[in-house]
Amino acid sequence: MTEWWRDAVFYEIYVRSFADSNGDGVGDLAGITARLEYVRDLGVDAIWLTPVYPSPQRDFGYDVTDHCDVDPRYGSLADFDALTARAHELGLRVILDYVPNHTSDVHPWFTEHPDRYLWHDGPPPNNWVSVFGGPAWEQVGERSYYHAYLREQPDLDWRNPEVREAMYDVLRFWLERGVDGFRVDALRQLLKDPQLRDNPPNPDFAPGMPEYDSLLPLHTTDLDELQEIVAELRAVIGDRLFIAEVYVEIERLMRYYAGGAQMPFNFHLLSTPWEAEAIGDLIERYEAALPDGAWPNWVLGNHDRPRIASRVGAAQARVAAMLLLTLRGTPTLYYGDEIGMTDVPVQRSDPDGRDPERTPMQWTRDGGFTTGEPWLPYGDLTINVEDDPHSMLALHRRLLALRRGFAEEGYRTLHAADGVLAYARGEHTAVALNLTGEPRPLPVGGELLLSTHLDGGARGLRADEGVVLRI
pTM: 0.96
Angle 130-135-140 from CA coordinates, rounded to 5°: 115
Query: What is the rounded CA–CA span in Å between residue 412 and residue 136?
Result: 44
Query: What is the rounded CA–CA span in Å between residue 75 and residue 53?
Result: 10
Q: Are residues 460 and 394 in the same domain?
A: no
Q: Are residues 240 and 327 in the same domain?
A: yes
Q: Are residues 278 and 294 in the same domain?
A: yes
Q: Could you tell me whether strands 143-146 and 119-121 are parallel, antiparallel, or unpaired per DSSP bridges?
A: antiparallel
Q: Are residues 213 and 275 in the same domain?
A: yes
pLDDT for the residue 389: 75
- Amino acid at site 116: R
Reported as a single tens digit per residue, the pLDDT across 264-278 is: 999 999 999 999 999
Q: Are residues 165 and 58 in the same domain?
A: yes
Reported as a single tens digit per residue, the pLDDT across 172-195 is: 999 999 999 999 999 999 999 999
- Judge whether 464 lies within some domain: yes
Count of the separate structural domains present in the chain: 2
Q: Are residues 454 and 383 in the same domain?
A: no
- Structural Rg of the chain based on CA atoms: 22
pLDDT for the residue 347: 79
% of the chain with per-residue pLDDT over 90: 96
pLDDT for the residue 388: 79
Q: Which of 408, 426, 445 is the last residue of a domain?
A: 408
| Local confidence band at 459 (pLDDT 50, 70, 90 cut-offs) | confident
Q: Residue 283: which domain range?
A: 4-102+161-408
Three state DSSP letters for 209-274: CCHHHHECCCCCCCCCCHHHHHHHHHHHHCCCEEEECCCCCHHHHHHHHHHCCCEECCCHHHCCCC
Q: Are residues 391 and 461 in the same domain?
A: no
Reported as a single tens digit per residue, the pLDDT across 357-409 is: 999 999 999 999 999 999 999 999 999 999 877 799 999 999 999 999 999 99
Q: Could you tell me whether strands 46-49 and 297-299 are parallel, antiparallel, or unpaired per DSSP bridges?
A: unpaired
Three state DSSP letters for 168-202: HHHHHHHHHCCCCEEEECCHHHCCCCCCCCCCCEC
CB neighbour list of residue 133: distance below 8 Å, 6 or more residues apart: 210, 211, 212
Catalytic residue list: 185, 245
Q: Are residues 265 and 171 in the same domain?
A: yes
- Judge whether 129 lies within some domain: no
Q: Which of 408, 424, 439 is the last residue of a domain?
A: 408
Q: Are residues 316 and 185 in the same domain?
A: yes
- Judge whether 89 lies within some domain: yes
- Judge whether 110 lies within some domain: no
Q: Are residues 361 and 455 in the same domain?
A: no
| Local confidence band at 206 (pLDDT 50, 70, 90 cut-offs) | very high
- Amino acid at site 192: K
Q: Which of 372, 391, 408 is the last residue of a domain?
A: 408
Looking at residues 332-352, what average pLDDT do you find?
A: 89
Q: Are residues 322 and 453 in the same domain?
A: no
- Judge whether 109 lies within some domain: no
Q: Could you tell me whether strands 297-299 and 420-425 are parallel, antiparallel, or unpaired per DSSP bridges?
A: unpaired
- Judge whether 22 lies within some domain: yes
CATH of the domain at 247: 3.20.20.80
Looking at residues 41-45, what average pLDDT do you find?
A: 97
CATH of the domain at 461: 2.60.40.1180
- Judge whether 151 lies within some domain: no
CB 299 within 8 A of CB 247: no
pLDDT for the residue 396: 97
- Judge whether 125 lies within some domain: no
Given a cut of 60, whether residue 90 has pLDDT beyond it is yes
Query: What is the rounded CA–CA span in Å between residue 363 and residue 391?
Result: 13
Given a cut of 90, whether residue 1 has pLDDT beyond it is no
Q: Are residues 232 and 85 in the same domain?
A: yes
Put the strands of the sheet holding 420-425 in their side by side order.
Answer: 411-417, 420-425, 429-434, 466-470, 447-451
